[in-house]
Amino acid sequence: MIQIPTRDGTADAYLAHPGDGGPHPAVLLYMDAFGLRPHLKSMADRLAGEGYTVLVPNVFYRFGPAPVVELPEFIDPAERPEIIRNLGPAARTLTPEGAVRDAAHYLDWLAASPLTTDGPVGVTGYCMGAGLALRTAGTHPERVAAAAGFHGAYLATDAPDSPHLLAGHITAELYFGHADRDATNPADQIARLEKSLTEAGVEHRSEVYEGAHHGFTQADTAMYGSRATERHWAALLDLFARRLSR
């Protein structure tokens, strides 16, 4: 665990990197709404095992250090609806404007680290983190070479600050793995995202994972799907292998 100073405080974050101590391509991994916890650390460790230096910030740091709410080892929102309710105040501390400011600090930290190579980074995000990945690619285009989002939530809404509206600024290659059983990302929003990226000329691939639930990559939740998760890993590692210099 490390600490990253920001304009609004200090973000706690998890750092994973290969054990050789040398520089490796940087990856910024954005958490889902349940936050920085052992499972997300294990995902970062897997990426580090593939040769990347991975930063996983607690994006709710304004509310408090991770974990921002008490979590069981296995998360089933249907049985524990209070978990979602308790996360609400923490989630409200992260505005789109704050997310953009934070992204600059995270990218600065990675650029300054001796554990990272020079050049643009890769970004991946889960649930709400997919929107943060899209927003980071759109507001820091010169610093992001590849960005991915999985079971993303509210990526292309009618809101004036919806992440998809940044499509015209994106220079990274993008990949999205959508869950087809996901009330937070219905078919009309997937189509709107696809249209915005295509019209902006963004190099991208967008796939709907049939039978997958929102949260399918998160093995400590009731939404987990092993086949969809392995498909996600294959797509993510392919994207990063092509776009991030070693």
Is the link from the previous residue into 5 a cis peptide, with omega within 30 of 0?
Answer: no
User: 96-112 and 128-139 are packed helices; what angle lies between their axes, rounded to 10 degrees?
Assistant: 70
Sign of the CA dihedral with 216 first, then 219, 221, and 226 last: positive
Question: Which residue stretches of the chain are H helix?
Answer: 38-49, 82-91, 96-112, 128-139, 187-199, 226-243
Residues labelled as active-site residues: 127, 182, 214
C-alpha dist (Å) from residue 11 to 109, 145, 196, 231 = 11, 24, 32, 31
